[in-house]
Amino acid sequence: MVTPILMPRPGQMTEECTVQLWLKAEGDLVHKGDILFEIETDKSSMEVEAFDEGTLLRIVAPEGATVPVNTVVAWVGQPGDAIPEAPAPVVPAPVLAAPEALAATPASSHPLGPAPAALLQQALAASPSPAPASGDRLTISPRASRVAAELGIDPRSVRGSGPGGRIVERDIRAAAALPATAPASVSAPPAAGPDADGVSPEPLSRLRQVIASRLTESVTTIPHFTVTVAVDMSGLVALRAELRRDGSPVALTDIIHAATAQTLVEFPLVNARTDGRQLWRRERVHLGIAVSVPGGLLVPVVRDADRRTLAELHDAAASLVERARAGRLGPDELSGGTFTISNMGMFRVEAFSAIINPGESGILAVSSILPTPVALGDGLAVRQIMRLTLSADHRLVDGELGARFLNAIRRRLEDVNDWRSAAATT
């Protein structure tokens, strides 16, 4: 019996993946658990295992092909079995509305987001094209829509090569490589060539492009404000020295994670999200941890961070950071965060502010712990001071709430006895 091998859906928000490498060739025997091929999403790479046994009869999606999830990429069966035609994707393709619908759709609710939608609407209005065969609607993948907006390409003029004529990313990029036909009012990407100083451009990595897209979306759609407090970490610095002597792996970073997660339970609005019209309250705290990796930044997520012990937080965060830097995180480990921490304490940074991760209402920027003269009573003393800066979504979090949230974290961190007890139970 012939069995189809489908492109998996690595994460809830993933609509298509790229085949990076086939580890089996046509005619090879396949056993359950064998690694068949590797795929790449916007954020990570992963291996795909076989769930059926037989012979790899045909590879439908070659290396480099980008296809929707739940699409047939190969067939497994017995030699001589008849191979059917690959069916259309199981999941209905997203539909891009006509220009009139775009104009009537609130920017914040459109799947492309306000900035790309506005650019795409401008391009569509400026450059009329023949309507697609299906009428005034066409099927296009989310990534293709995003790339079309970024490159100023009218998707109605592009012929789709995906299943059922669906327009996918490679179709948009192929159209962008053709001689420009757009009117002068639509900005086209600059020609690849040296600038006035003779410097030739180079393309951004895929990860860098994703970062650019998400952070641009954040700063153009979320009204940020920031507030900073200074935390006296002298007691925790001394406690960490004690723990190190006792062989405990718990670090100051773990305590900061724990204090933040506990405070998010106390201030649920900071853990919520909004689109400016509705509010989504979250009962669980999933803490994103910004991790620097070669070529960019990833934010793996520690789930239920408020319910973990210090030791559990340490182990979870250490594992995520290690696998993030090795490129071995799964898409589900990079999604679903409710609040993010960006820690630059290791770089002797006095203070900084961070950009909110889209879908969240705040991000905490953690600076270095620095010896600082402070007033104590009538005198001066040198204390170990760390500054925390909250960037918050002003649509949901006001200045007073942000200040109370930060001061609650500060009070927790300065209560050394509580952390001594917590560390003793790990």
Residues labelled catalytic? 394
Phi then psi for residue 377, to 5 deg, are 65, -125
What's at 187, amino acid-wise? Answer: S
Q: Which two tokens stand for residue 377?
A: 């009573």
Query: Using an 8 Å Cβ cutoff, are 257 and 302 in contact?
Result: yes
Among 239, 254, 118, which residue's Cα sits nearest to residue 187?
A: 118
CA 43 and chain centroid, separation: 7
244 Cβ contact list (under 8 Å, min separation 6): none
Residue count of the chain, please give it: 426
Calculate the CA dihedral of residues 51, 57, 62, 66 and round it to 10 degrees.
-50
Q: What is the 3-state secondary structure (H, E, C) of 36-66?
A: EEEEECCCCEEEEECCCCEEEEEECCCCCCE
Cα(132)–Cα(138) distance, integer angstroms: 7
> Is the CB of residue 18 less than 8 Å from the CB of residue 44?
no
Which of 282, 279, 286 lies closest to 396, judged by CA?
279
**Rounded Cα gap, residues 315 and 298, in angstroms:** 18
Edge to edge, the sheet with strand 287-289 lists 224-232, 379-393, 362-376, 339-343, 287-289, 301-302
User: How far is the C-alpha of 355 from the C-alpha of 287, rounded, in Å?
Assistant: 15
C-beta atoms surrounding 326 within 10 Å: 9
Angle made by CA atoms 307, 337, 243, in degrees to the nearest 5: 45
